[in-house]
Structure 1
Amino acid sequence: MCSDDIAIRVSQLAKCYQIYGNPRDRLKQFVLPRLQRLLGSPARQYFREFWALQGLSFEVRKGETVGIIGRNGSGKSTLLQIICGTVAPTGGKVSIQGRVAALLELGAGFNAEFTGRENVLLTAAVLGFPQQSMQARMAQVLAFSELGDFLDQPVKTYSSGMYARLAFSIAIHVDPDILVVDEALSVGDARFVAKCMRRIKEIQERGATILFVSHDVSSVRTLCQRAIWLDSGQLVEDGEVFPISGKYMEFMLGDDASSAPAQRVEMAGPAPPDAANGKAAGSPENSHGLDNRPVTHWGSHKGLVLAASICNVQGVRKDIIPWGEAMHIIVDVRIPPDVSREQLCIAFSIKDLQGTDLIVSTTYEQSTALPESDRFRVIFRTINHLVSGKYVLVVAVENRFNRSISHYYEYLEGAHYFSSLADERLFGIFHPAIKQLTQST
């Protein structure tokens, strides 16, 4: 790849922090090892090492939007701080092409005694943005941040949300070649966060390079084409955002389910008959089964979902469903004796390829009584109002304690990839049939 196409190159990056048990150990480390070496004794170490990053390497092309995902403590913030130049690495190298504007932890780079206006000029100067140009854009910064008279108050009087507003407003008005966002928007109100996300997309469309860190996987999938998954300071996976974020969710949610022992349920015996024609599920006649490329598949009892697909009213699996036609979401399951029937629930979701839930329904919400047999079928009937595009079916077998709490016996994202097709162009995402009336007033 041509070096001119690379905005960020990270090579064998490492960062080690010295962790002291108490303040005295810091003083000991400063004085005693020198004395010990002078006396010819081995120098003691009064701290323990914590490697926030270890041998990390990757490249980001110009104009690319990359999501950095991982658990708390995985090294995401340290990585971004090194890229932005606020933290020095212990080893390795970072090469940057272009002006970097960053939204790191709240107030990073701000002088608490300065006013918001003074911090705007200070931050712009640090980034190499001309002061005269920043003065000319001050009204735009004020309008976007919605800080009003607070712009001329010391930032030490700001709330966390006001910090985020000011930091973001500065970052987007210095014409960044590279925009770095590290969870700074999580403290804003919903309306301002939506406003920021729209502006990030505008910056994205102008060709800027974006590094985006968020625990909200749906936001990462919406904004990013690629995801880098870190854990314990090391690279786990790097690739297309949908499969990488799916594996990450599987890993995270799998941790939540680790209290229940993982069990593999053998799918022995004949499959449930098809509701329409009595043929076995998964037979060549209707191909009702599971796609062989699930994005995320986890749970305490994998193997409960025998088949799941989008079908027509005859129960035949369809990879293309015309807009406005009836469709059946058919789920065949096998429930072993050790799975409680008391709060058992079958659920499905239809997502777009960015991972956004578009249609969700469960037998819990519908108060559907499930059969007592170990094998049964659930059919959800609806009309396809999805605009033309590609979608993915998610199915789950849950223990639904209440509306908001559930334990997943099995969660399968990618049970069926399918397309919706309309004869004419439809706008939006979900386009139901709408009747129009006119009245004279």
Structure 2
Amino acid sequence: MSSDMFSEVSLRVRGVTKDYLIYERPEDRLKQMFRRKHRYYTAFPALKGVDLEIYRGETVGVVGRNGSGKTTLLEIIAGTLRPSAGTVEVSGRVAALLGLGAGFNPEFTGRDNVALNAAVLGLGPGALAAVFDRIAAFADIGPFLDRPVKTYSSGMFARLAFAVAIHVDPDILIVDETLSVGDEAFQRKCFRRIEELKADGCTILFVTHSAETVIDLCDRAVLLDRGERLLMGSPRTVIAQYQRLIHAPVAKAAAIREGIRAMDGQAAALALARVHEAPAHDAPAHDAPSRPVSESGGNTDDAPAQAEASLPGEEEDDAFLVDDFQSENVVEFPAAGALIEDVHVETPGGRRVNHLVAGHDYDLVYQVTFAGAVERVRFGMQIRTSTGLVVATQNSQTETEEGLSIPEAGMVREVRFPVRVSLVPGVYFMNAGVVTTDADGNNRYLHRLVDVLAVRVLTPPRQTASGVILIEGSRPVRLRRFPPGEPPTGSGTDERLSPTHD
């Protein structure tokens, strides 16, 4: 990556607005043509004064709920849609994947459509001949390359369209969810190619609903909502606020939205400073996300100034709290002598969080109030996946121990289970329970809450694990190097790699 990376503006969007005109009846469109002083339509504002400035070599993710204006913005940047107001300045060749099969003639073969798309993107016959074999190999659709594209599956469309776009030497690559239709192997190949383009100085702008992809791949991210730019900043900051927004209850949604908007200037400045400070050969800088709670622990949903003040301090880890990220399927068994309350996760420093970092230590905490005296009490917890698979269970005492004695009613116990998050990224659910054991060794629940707490495990940098359990160890990964021609039975030379989750 060249030394002037992130110093040259590749894309500048100023005050871009787009209004779609909605006519109730077909004849109203004709009337409007001849009677311009009258208004036969309703204007729907898809974009409202959006500003962006993106630098050469940057990768920027665009996130937001459906209907927030993401695709409209990308279409305007690509030049396939005209804004109602505002300007777009683009430096260099733009290759855009804005829709499955967009620009493809269904009657043409894949080979013919490659030539057609390459010509649209400014690639002449000679230049196309030099890269055609690479396009065909990347798409890897076999004999279907010489068949009409109307016979293609959605995955074949995606393969061929992406293969063309990334081999026309684009200065700016725009991708709108196209990769979500490909199989996992193809997606991995695409992201590897995106990294290569980025290293060569290509500016990449893409829409995705995958938080992990934004955090892994992007230098910055922008949050759109109702056609407006609410926030631009580091990927983790933007994703945290996006998740606050989509989980916001109706009564708090407006206040949360304004709180996020108030953070925009400071978050954008911090993220841009980190991008410019990052060494050219480094991966994207992902700073700690802002927390939706203030340093004193107060809720900031109704206080934009506090939300802005909470932008980021250095944390013991990147875990954070999204107030409205909660389990929607809590199953509560009847209380029969005890009551479990205030189930939450804390960092070792006592900060409440529900977005956790793999490989770090936390405490699952809850309080139990007892309705009367009871003997042989044990406390328990459980962690399950979204499909119900139990990945961890822990009790406060073993079966051979007597357990805790509660001598009188009204006594309260705080329970803390230490938890090392050895899980791959995803959403998990936690249970809490308190039981008593009778003289015959039979367990009876005094209270039990199933799926009472939802937590999200974040994607760590350079994550390579999949499945459920994150394989950990105090020793680094070891490689043994042998000279060429030497059989792998000698002493060799050890090479050590740090664990990818550190």
**TM-score using structure 2 length:** 0.59
Alignment partner of 1:87: what SS?
A: coil
* 1:377 equivalent in alignment to 2:447: no
Give 1:297 deviation, angstroms. 2.0
Runs of 4+ in 1 over 4 A off after TM superposition: 1-4, 255-259, 290-294, 300-303, 344-349, 369-374, 394-400, 406-414, 420-425
Deviation digits for residues 156-181 of structure 1, max 9, x if unmatched?
22111111000000011101111111
Unaligned 5+ segments in structure 2 are: 254-292, 297-314, 328-340, 351-358, 371-379, 397-403, 405-410, 434-449, 459-472, 477-494
Q: Could you tell me which of 347, 359, 363 is aligned with 1:330?
A: 363
Name the CA shift for 1:222/1:98 in 2 (closer, same or farther; >3 Å). Answer: same
Map of 1:261-410 to 2, 5 A cutoff?
295-299=320-324, 304=342, 308-309=346-347, 329-334=362-367, 365-369=391-395, 375-380=414-419, 409=453
Structure 2 residue 197 is matched with structure 1 residue 200:
no
2:220 aligns to what? Answer: 226
Whether the 8 Å contact between 1:298 and 1:412 is mirrored in structure 2 is no
Q: What is the deviation of 1:99?
A: 0.7
Q: Separation in 2 of the partners of 1:158 and 1:86?
A: 24
Q: Is the 8 Å Cα contact of residues 250 and 296 (structure 1) preserved in structure 2?
A: no
Matched residues in 2 for 1:156 and 1:63: separation? 35
**Tell me, which stretches of 5 or more residues in structure 1 are unaligned?**
268-289, 316-325, 338-343, 350-359, 387-391, 401-405, 415-419, 432-441
How far does residue 97 in structure 1 lie from its aligned partner after superposition?
0.2
Asked whether the equivalents of residues 363 and 417 of structure 2 are also in contact (C-alpha less than 8 Å), the reply is yes
Aligned-pair distance for 1:90? 0.7
1:80 Cα deviation from its structure 2 partner: 0.5
Greater RCO, 1 or 2 (C-alpha within 8 Å, sep 6+) = 1
- Counting only pairs closer than 5 Å after superposition, residues 144-223 of structure 1 correspond to structure 2 as 144-223=138-217
CA separation of 1:104 and 1:327: change in aligned 2, threshold 3 A: closer
Aligned residues: 349
* Partner SS state of residue 128, structure 1: coil
Q: What SS is found at the alignment partner of 1:366?
A: strand
Whole-Å separation in 2 of the counterparts to 1:175 and 1:88: 25
In the aligned structure 2, how far is the partner of 1:66 from the partner of 1:203? 14
Q: Offset of 1:139 from its aligned partner?
A: 1.1
d(CA) in 2 for partners of 1:363, 1:127 = 48
* Structure 1 residues 345 and 176, CA gap change in structure 2 (3 angstroms): farther
Counterpart check, 1:109 vs 2:111:
no
Q: Partners of 2:155 and 2:183 in 1: how far apart?
A: 7
* Cα distance in structure 1, aligned partners of 2:360 and 2:143: 55
C-alpha contact 1:396 1:408 (8 A) present in aligned 2: yes
Further displaced range: 364-373 or 157-166: 364-373
Query: In structure 1, which of residues 19, 22, 33 is the aligned counterpart of residue 22 of structure 2?
Result: 19
Give the Cα–Cα distance (whole angstroms) in 1 for the partners of residues 114 and 326 of structure 2.
Answer: 54
Corresponding residue for 2:31?
A: 31
Change (3 A) 1:385 1:125: closer
CA distance in structure 1 between the aligned counterparts of 2:212 and 2:323, rounded to whole angstroms: 18
Q: CA distance change for structure 1 residues 347 and 243 in 2, over 3 Å: closer, same or farther?
A: farther
1:257-282 deviation digits (Å, cap 9, x = unpaired): 999xxxx9xx9xxxxxxxxxxxxxxx
> Does the 8 Å CA contact 2:243/2:325 hold for their aligned counterparts?
no
Q: Which amino acid aligns with 1:155?
A: V
1:13 to 1:345, Cα distance in 2 relative to 1, 3 A:
farther
CA contact (8 A) 1:329 1:379 kept: yes
Distance 2:389 2:111 in 1: 55
Distance 1:385 1:421, change over 3 A: farther
With over 3 angstroms needed to count, the CA separation of the structure-2 counterparts of 1:202 and 1:335, relative to structure 1, is farther
Q: Distance in 1 between matches of 2:228 and 2:344?
A: 36
Counterparts of 2:368 and 2:102, CA distance in 1: 53
Contact 1:70–1:229 (CA<8 Å) still a contact in 2? Answer: yes
CA distance in 2, matches of 1:398, 1:46: 57
Q: Determine the C-alpha separation between the residues in 2 that align with 1:182 and 1:238.
A: 18
Q: Is the 8 A contact 1:299 1:411 kept in 2?
A: no
Match for residue 58 of structure 1?
52
Q: Alignment partner of 1:27: what SS?
A: helix
Distance 2:241 2:179 in 1: 24
Check conservation: 1:101, 1:127, Cα contact below 8 A.
Answer: yes
Alignment of 1:67-82 (within 5 A): 67-82=61-76
**Compared with structure 1, are the counterparts of its residues 327 and 204 closer, same or farther at alpha carbon in structure 2 (3 Å cutoff)?**
closer
Q: CA distance change for structure 1 residues 32 and 5 in 2, over 3 Å: closer, same or farther?
A: closer
Q: Return the letter of the residue paired with 1:379.
A: P
Give a deviation string over 1:226-268, Cα, whole Å, max 9, x none.
Answer: 1100001100100111111111122223459999xxxx9xx9x
Q: Distance in 2 between matches of 1:154 and 1:167?
A: 14
Tell me if the contact between 2:360 and 2:420 (Cα under 8 Å) persists in the aligned partners: yes
Indicate if the aligned counterparts of 1:15 and 1:53 stay in contact, CA closer than 8 A: yes
**Matching residue of 1:437:** none
Q: Quick one: which amino acid aligns to residue 365 of structure 2? A: D
Q: Secondary structure at the match of 1:94?
A: strand
Q: How do 1:40-55 residues align onto structure 2 when only pairs under 5 Å count?
A: 43=38, 45-55=39-49
CA deviations 1:88-136 (Å, max 9, x no partner) are 1111011000111111110111122221111111111111122211122
Q: Structure 2 CA distance, aligned partners of 1:29 and 1:128? A: 36
CA RMSD of aligned residues (A): 4.5
Partner amino acid for 2:13? V
Query: Structure 2 vs 1, CA of residues 237 and 398 (structure 1 numbering), >3 Å: closer, same or farther?
Result: farther
TM-score (norm 1): 0.67
Q: Does 2:429 match 1:426? A: no
Read off the aligned partner of 2:391 and give its amino acid letter. Answer: E
